[in-house]
Structure 1
Amino acid sequence: MRLMNGPYGWLLQLISVVLYKYHAGQTTSSVAAPVGARCDGAMTRQAAPWWTEGGWLARAALVALVVGLILYVQALGHFDFRQLRAGAGDQWIGGGALAISALAASRLALSPVWTGAAHTALGTTTLVLLGLSLAWCAVLLAAETRWPRPGYDIRRWSTVFPVGMTAVAALSTAAATEIDWLHTLGQVLLWIAVVMWLLTLIGFLHDIGTR
């Protein structure tokens, strides 16, 4: 786990995507592969106490973010969009990956290493990524409404994660861009994620009890 989540773990993610490339009909596994690279960017920023000492960690985090986005675009080409209609919950990972990207970009924007045009570019990138993540959520929610899938499935835990991650990304973006209404949006999404988590837990416990 330490190897996969380290500052250079994105190299392993790259190998994963190359392997996925040779498998047709991917659902969410292809999108899940580059998630770790974006996590590297966010985790490196969160855990780094040495931002002012040359800024090498900030630059490593930026590289991880950029590589993660490239891998996401490549992996999206293998995503089976029929899962929007038939997926059991794990199709939401596609939106969660963008939420992680927005979170990583927002944490980078908060770093004192980036100033001037670089800081502005990171702030704009953060807003774009958060907007794309919210758009993904809207599409996924519309698909869930159009083609309801009642009942518990263990893959529903993959629905809870992206909503919670989008909430955290909105809160972090609000801090990075000083857009107050994003903080409110993040709080609303966070409570929605909590409710979804509780409902999924109830479904999980009921499923165990009926076996």
Structure 2
Amino acid sequence: MVTGSSPSRPARSGTPLADLSPAYFGLVMATGIVSLAAFMMGHASLAFVLFYLNIAQYLVLCCLYALRAFRYPGRFFGDMVAHRTGPGYFTAVAGTGVLASQFMVLRENVAAGAVLWLLALLLWFCLTYTIFTAFTVKREKPPLDEGISGSWLLAVVATQALSVSSALLAARLGQPYRLELNLLSLSMWLWGGMLYIWMMSLIFYRYAFFRFLPSDLAPPYWINMGAMAISTLAGSLLILNAPQAPYLMSLLPFLKGFTVFYWATGTWWIPMLLLLGIWRHGFERFPFEYDPLYWGAVFPLGMYAASTWQLDHAMEFGFLSPLPRAFLWIALTAWAITFIGMVRTLVRSRLS
């Protein structure tokens, strides 16, 4: 994203803390899922480096968000109830859920994972009902083509991140919590899928029937694919957890069918998004410049790698493994480029 003229970027006050993007926890989401994907595929050293980096990033962002809420409450809560920026806050839910998953998968630290899971659940409840209630009762609302974007699907990602962390926690706890956590994971998985259908219908309508400028194709449109990828990951974990819960066993054909459905939908989006990216930067010459929203494009690449790996394992296909291995390195390259861009921007901002 570049230029202040883009409709996806709010007016800036010139104060870095006041202008802090509500979607900056996308950094935690992207780093965390690349770490998890690397661990799944046997790159433990890389996974742990990214894990410890992610802990530091998460703590820094928590402090910055708390300071922004204290120093600039009007901007902080105003962004939360604005159609263009409000959904960005769901990155805090998803980032917390991904970090909880890292603690459980990489370190087998169930206590830390459970604390972060509880925090993610609390954030999900507060943000979901605050943001969507505000969108409903507001008197002044933007038209569809100005109010909706791919960032709205972050609500789906946040919901499915809770499904994933709940399933991971259920696999590591005994009764009396295992059945309840699996039911919560299943419920979130189903609700996330329904929410995707609602939102994607509006986004696709906006694609096809309103004028679409290069500046409108913000990086969060990659969440079109990322939301389906994380839904695939959650479904795969539910399939693996089925022997622990009789009601999951009875739903196993349904779980398998819809998990493949989610994966196929996410896979369909990849060529489409690549073609739109070529149109944006190749034909329309829209320039590259670092923006926190680019983490919303890195995360889906890492999630596609992780979810395809787990799908191959859960469905016992045995022939998909080259695909997630390729996407791991694509995601890692995208993460490195975006991270370097972030550091350069911070350094330039500090010097100026």
1:57 maps to which of 181, 188, 193? 181
CA distance in 2, matches of 1:94, 1:51: 35
Q: In structure 2, do the counterparts of structure 1 residues 100 and 90 end up closer, same or farther at CA, with 3 Å as the change threshold?
A: same
Give CA deviations for 1:66-106 in whole Å, capped at 9, x if unaligned: 11111122222443433787323121122111111111111
2:279 corresponds to 1:146: yes
Deviates more, 1:27-36 or 1:130-139: 27-36
CA distance in 1, matches of 2:213, 2:270: 14
Q: In structure 2, do the counterparts of structure 1 residues 18 and 100 end up closer, same or farther at CA, with 3 Å as the change threshold?
A: farther
Q: Residue in 2 aligned with 1:33?
A: 155
- 1:173 Cα deviation after fit: 0.5
CA distance in 1, matches of 2:126, 2:191: 9
CA distance in 2, matches of 1:98, 1:61: 16
> Following superposition of structure 1 onto structure 2, how do residues 47-86 of structure 1 map, counting pairs within 5 Å?
47-48=169-170, 49-50=172-173, 55-79=179-203, 80-81=206-207, 82=212, 86=216
Q: Residue in 2 aligned with 1:108?
A: 238
2:289 corresponds to 1:169: no
SS at match of 1:34: helix
**Alignment check: 8 A CA contact 1:163 1:190 kept:** yes
Report how many aligned residue pairs link the two structures: 210
SS at match of 2:289: coil
2:329 corresponds to 1:202: no
2:257 corresponds to 1:124: yes
SS at match of 2:218: coil
CA distance in 2, matches of 1:57, 1:36: 17
SS at match of 1:180: coil
CA distance in 2, matches of 1:8, 1:57: 18
2:227 corresponds to 1:89: no
Q: Residue in 1 aligned with 2:101?
A: none
- 1:136 Cα deviation after fit: 1.5
SS at match of 1:153: coil
Q: Residue in 2 aligned with 1:6?
A: 121
- 1:28 Cα deviation after fit: 2.8
- Structure 1 unaligned spans of 5+: none
CA distance in 1, matches of 2:165, 2:289: 32
CA RMSD in angstroms, aligned pairs only: 2.7
Deviates more, 1:139-148 or 1:27-36: 27-36
CA distance in 1, matches of 2:301, 2:267: 9
Give CA deviations for 1:153-197 in whole Å, capped at 9, x if unaligned: 312111101111111110110110111222221111111000111
**Alignment check: 8 A CA contact 2:217 2:280 kept:** no
**1:55 is aligned with what amino acid?**
L
Q: In structure 2, do the counterparts of structure 1 residues 52 and 108 end up closer, same or farther at CA, with 3 Å as the change threshold?
A: farther
**1:44 is aligned with what amino acid?**
S
TM-score, with structure 2 as normaliser: 0.53
TM-score, with structure 1 as normaliser: 0.85
**1:144 is aligned with what amino acid?**
G
Give CA deviations for 1:88-142 in whole Å, capped at 9, x if unaligned: 3121122111111111111001111232x52222122111111111112221111
Identity across the alignment (%): 24
Q: In structure 2, do the counterparts of structure 1 residues 210 and 158 end up closer, same or farther at CA, with 3 Å as the change threshold?
A: same
